[in-house]
Structure 1
Amino acid sequence: MGAGAGAGTGDGAGDGRIAPPLTGGEREMLRAFLDFHRATLAMKCAGLTDEQLRLRSSPPSTLTLLGLVRHMAEVERTWFRRVIDGEDIPLVWSAEGDFQAAYDAHGADRAEAFAAWEAEVEHARRIEREAESLDVTGYQARWQAEVSLRLVMLHLIHEYARHNGHADFLREAIDGEVGA
């Protein structure tokens, strides 16, 4: 977070997000930063129509805000439910396991995408809260390795941070709105 981004206590930058604390335990800090990034993605999409959420960044890229929301639903589902909780469930938008399918938002709408994303976030929060510690592990098949809940939370923070940078540019191109 840069200056003016609400790096202390309170509601972020006056935009409804709760800024992560400046001190605290590891789990509290990871949880707060992950929730801050989740709120940032939602903020970047706020007030836009379905059509605006489907606007492509810059051809030939097919990246859209709605595609990012759908992608992050898959990311939350994969890392928390499939890896940490060991659930044998398909991806939300691809029974074949094609992670790229979520990015294709040409026929998608806000209600469906946000309902899926919000449901996966709630599952992720429940799994994290119920985990005995950050040392709980799950099997990440793509890496063929056991990974800890700690790594999963750090990975999700990284994933949101990267995609929130994309969301900044997408939103600015749509209506000139800047800031995070």
Structure 2
Amino acid sequence: MTTERPAPPLTGGEREMLRTFLDFHRATLAMKCEGLSDEDLRRASSPPSTLSLLGLVRHMAEVERTWFRRVINAEDIPLRWSPEGDFQAAYDASSSTRAEAFEAWQAEVEQSRKIEEAAESLDVTGYQPRWGEHVSLRLVMLHMIHEYARHNGHADFLREAIDGVTGA
């Protein structure tokens, strides 16, 4: 399976730009994982770190779930991998599989897209309890782009350490 990555527009409206750049970064993470076995995807970066590509996928499922469903949509749902709310739990992919992690991540991405598309505008707000503040959908989308970009940088190094593949 080959992931298609959307080309962000060079001109256009703010929402279209944010949406496409976010989808670009989502696709980049998927591309970094293509062609690897479950074992490769679980391989830790460098001790003592437990960071792995599969851990990043699981983490991004939690991030999507939190910002779109819990914050913007005000859903009272726990994290997928930690009912106690420990975001670090998602990074432990030692017993995870590609199927499990990607199914969760793709389901959360789909929910995020539905929430964003249904929102009246980028000015829609939700409450972020960790900050004790209301935040706009605009901020959430910018934060998500930042989060993916940062972790895609990690994914670059992880993938290169596994099989030498660079770029995406």
What TM-score bracket applies, with the shorter chain setting the length? over 0.9
2:120 corresponds to which residue? 132
The answer to whether the aligner puts 1:24 opposite 2:24 as a matched pair is no
Are 2:64 and 1:76 equivalent residues in the alignment?
A: yes
Instruction: Report Cα offsets for 1:141-171 as digits up to 9, x if no partner.
Output: 0000000000000000000000000000000
Counterparts of 1:76 and 1:98 in 2: how far apart (Å)? 15
| Alignment length (residue pairs) | 167
Give 1:70 deviation, angstroms. Answer: 0.1
Runs of 4+ in 1 over 3 A off after TM superposition: none
* Aligned position for 1:148: 136
Of 85, 105, 123, the residue aligned with 2:111 is 123
The residue that corresponds to 1:57 in the other structure is: 45
Q: Which has the higher helix share?
A: 2
Shift of 1:16: 2.7
The AA in structure 1 aligned to 2:14 is: E
Q: CA deviation at 1:19?
A: 1.1
Could you tell me how far 1:41 is from its partner in structure 2?
0.1
Secondary structure in 1 matching 2:127: strand
1:8 matched residue in structure 2: none
Structure 1: state its 5+ residue gaps: 1-13
Matched, 1:104 2:95: no
What is the aligned partner in structure 2 of residue 9 from structure 1?
none
Quote the Cα distance in structure 2 between the aligned partners of 1:16 and 1:38: 10
CA contact (8 A) 2:3 2:30 kept: no
Aligned mates of 1:158, 1:168 — CA distance in 2? 15
Alpha-carbon distance, 1:15 to partner: 6.9
Q: Which of 19, 22, 39 pairs up with 1:34?
A: 22
Q: Which residue of 1 aligns with 2:32?
A: 44
- Higher RCO structure, 1 or 2 (CA under 8 Å, sep 6+): 2
CA contact 2:128–2:135 (8 Å) conserved in 1: yes
Q: Secondary structure at the match of 1:139?
A: strand
Question: Of the candidates 67, 71, 82, which is equivalent to residue 55 of structure 2?
Answer: 67
**Whole-Å separation in 2 of the counterparts to 1:15 and 1:28:** 20
Contact 2:3 2:27 in 1 (8 A): no
Q: Which residue of 2 aligns with 1:163?
A: 151
- AA at the equivalent of 2:65: R
Alignment deviations for residues 65-91 of structure 1 (CA, whole Å, 9 cap, x no partner): 000000000000000000000000000
